[in-house]
């Protein structure tokens, strides 16, 4: 066969493959989940494969636990996933356990591909976090992900955790209909305490902004949630009146947690030791607020291994040994292979109430 004929044949084949891949979106939702997962692992035209750094060497007992899990049966289902797509933040909270160690953010289409793979593997809820999610493209990036997950993937629940400082009303107008829950981090209703913690931002008042965001959630039918980290500087505070006035659907109360390499240790970017409280101190805080009906407490024991955490490279982070050990990226090896190294405690996830009424259509709230 002459060179010209070969060239024409190669061009025809390339066009055929491109056309076939271009029809993937129309075909994939009618396929079985396994077939979908395999198809979505193929790079599409114009999508760049991003190689994540490989995982560090695991401790011996961690590998033993993984081998036991493999013998016990199938990988856990990624029912609820926390995707920390950025580590960058405009606040400097002293106890932060997901710090700005990189500035990397996946290209939008690669992130969407990974989210579709998670949906095919059984994901029902996605929570976008950081860092500060609204820093990337002034909220457009997370808005497009929220829209994709609700409109295209049709996930039952899509949520965001934010410090709230970068959110503007235009965002609710454009993307609010696709968001089920907005969780705002607020550790104190005393602005001086917020400054001590690292949530101060010049003349901006964190608490005043919290009330503005609460009203926008009412106006645009988004369920409002508050997250608080209880630490040395707020453990004696009485928040009953303020929380009841804001009336969130959930008030998640965390005990300050140390993660080596993040907020403690030689390679950590924070020193959270001075923020630590005892288990008894945490229990006293909970007892003081026991009449708040939306209170959802999480001690260190409940929190450590009961979250599926996906980092900026879409690697699951295993916190079993007190630091974040990454799996390989789901974009490289698939969800089932990566999740085997997540250290996820599915029983603790259910025990701590990780599965709840998380779709705003089922909450029947009086907006």
Question: Could you write out the DSSP letters of every residue in 275-298?
Answer: G---HHHHHHHHHHTTT-TTEEEE
Instruction: Check 28, 96, 149, 294 and give the catalytic one.
Output: 96
Q: Is 96 an active-site residue?
A: yes
Catalytic residue among 89, 186, 217, 319: 89
Overall pTM surpassing 0.85 (yes/no)? no
Instruction: Please compute the mean of the pLDDT values over residues 240-246 and round it to a whole number.
Output: 97
**Whether 186 is catalytic:** no
Give the chain's mean pLDDT: 84
- Euclidean distance between CA atoms 285 and 119, whole angstroms: 38
Q: Which sign does the torsion angle of CA 259, 261, 263, 265 carry?
A: positive
Residue 236 has pLDDT above 80, yes or no: yes
Reduced to 3 states, what is the DSSP secondary structure of residue 104? coil
264 is catalytic: no
Instruction: List pLDDT tens digits, range 3-37.
Output: 455 545 554 554 444 334 433 433 343 343 444 44
Question: Which residue, 184, 187, 201, 205, is CA-closest to 277?
Answer: 187
Q: What confidence tens digit (pLDDT) does each residue in 107-156 have?
A: 999 999 999 999 999 999 999 999 999 999 999 999 999 999 999 999 99
What distance in Å separates the CA atoms of residue 288 and residue 284, rounded to the nearest whole number? 6
């Amino acid at each position: 066969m002459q060179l010209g004929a070969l060239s024409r044949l190669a061009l025809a084949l390339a066009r055929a493959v491109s056309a076939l891949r271009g029809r993937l979106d129309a075909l994939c939702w009618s396929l079985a989940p396994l077939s979908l997962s395999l198809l979505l692992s193929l790079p599409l035209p114009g999508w760049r494969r991003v190689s994540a750094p490989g995982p560090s060497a695991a401790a011996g007992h961690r590998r033993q636990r993984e081998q036991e899990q493999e013998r016990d049966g199938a990988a856990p289902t990624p029912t609820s996933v926390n995707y920390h797509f950025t580590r960058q933040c405009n606040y400097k909270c002293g106890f932060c356990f997901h710090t700005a160690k990189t500035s990397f953010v996946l290209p939008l289409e690669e992130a969407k591909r990974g989210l579709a793979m998670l949906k095919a593997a059984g994901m029902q809820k996605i929570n976008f976090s950081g860092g500060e999610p609204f820093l990337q493209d002034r909220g457009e990036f997370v808005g497009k992900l929220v829209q994709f997950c609700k409109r295209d993937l049709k996930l039952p629940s899509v949520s965001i955790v934010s410090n709230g400082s970068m959110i503007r009303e235009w965002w609710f107008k454009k993307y609010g209909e696709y968001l089920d829950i907005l969780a705002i981090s607020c550790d104190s209703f005393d602005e001086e305490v917020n400054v001590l913690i690292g949530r101060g931002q010049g003349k901006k008042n964190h608490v005043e902004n919290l009330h503005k965001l609460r009203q926008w959630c009412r106006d645009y039918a988004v369920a409002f949630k508050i997250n608080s980290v209880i630490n040395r500087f707020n453990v004696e505070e009485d928040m009953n009146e303020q929380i009841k006035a804001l009336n969130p659907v959930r008030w998640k109360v965390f005990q300050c947690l140390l993660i080596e390499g993040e907020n403690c240790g030689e390679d950590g970017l924070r020193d959270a030791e001075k923020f630590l409280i005892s288990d008894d101190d945490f229990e006293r805080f909970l007892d003081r607020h026991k009449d708040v009906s939306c209170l959802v407490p999480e001690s260190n024991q409940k929190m450590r291994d009961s979250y599926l955490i996906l980092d900026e490279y879409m690697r699951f982070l295993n916190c079993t040994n007190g630091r974040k050990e990454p799996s390989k990226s789901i974009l490289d090896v698939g969800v089932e292979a990566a999740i085997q190294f997540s250290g996820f405690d599915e029983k603790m996830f259910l025990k701590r109430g990780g599965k709840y009424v998380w779709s705003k259509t089922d909450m029947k709230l009086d907006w």
